[in-house]
Amino acid sequence: MLSSLFTRPAPALPPVDAPETWTPEGTLVSQRYRALEGATVLVYTADADRGTANYAAACLGCTYRAGENTAHNRMSEAEAAKAANAHASACRAMPRGVPARPEDPEAVELVRSRLWRHRYGTSPRRVHLADFNALRVDLQRSTPWIKALLESLTQAEPGFLTATPTSDGRTRFTVQPFGRP
């Protein structure tokens, strides 16, 4: 009886993605850097709603996320690579593995809070898919998922987010400022 206990095979563990090769859902990773203590820093892009690709950088060992350059413009691949390399050369974070994919309610809240910060102006603010690039590592959702969420928010909260069809068949989303009549 005791011998059967030791002859059972170990249960198979689910495959674990390595941070060095992991690609977050909805992104295309173009470069990877290694931080001082081994954390991986990604340079990536996502589906764009414009003609040009915008890039972001994110560290998988700490909370570093960058989707804009110092002039608050979206980054090119070269700018994102420069930011990622600069972060990797100073970051002392240990590898933490691949971040856990958030449940849908948490992912919805990540998107809502990103949109909410644009309500503090005096005029409406256009929303582009590239606005979520720096968030993609934490969000781990595809572009169609983000678009569907934006569409549902326009239905549920028209005083917060509005949608306007464009001549090319796409939809333009706009965050409305506080105090809009």
Tens digit of pLDDT for each residue in 142-175? 999 999 999 999 999 999 999 999 888 888 999 9
From the list 37, 42, 39, 138, the residue with the least C-alpha distance to 95 is 39
How far is residue 112's CA from residue 89's CA, in Å, rounded to a whole number?
33
Q: Is residue 28 part of a domain?
A: no
User: Model confidence over 108-119: pLDDT tens digits?
Assistant: 999 999 999 888
Q: Is residue 133 part of a domain?
A: yes
Q: How confident is the model at residue 180 (pLDDT cuts 50, 70, 90)?
A: low
Q: Is residue 145 part of a domain?
A: yes
CATH number at residue 158: 1.10.10
User: Model confidence over 45-91: pLDDT tens digits?
Assistant: 986 556 678 999 999 999 999 999 999 999 999 999 999 999 999 99
pLDDT above 90 (res 14) = no
Q: Please give the mean pLDDT across all residues of the chain.
A: 87
Domain containing residue 151: 104-175
Q: How many domains does the chain have?
A: 1
From the list 81, 32, 35, the residue with the least C-alpha distance to 55 is 81
How far is residue 22's CA from residue 25's CA, in Å, rounded to a whole number?
9
Q: Is residue 127 part of a domain?
A: yes
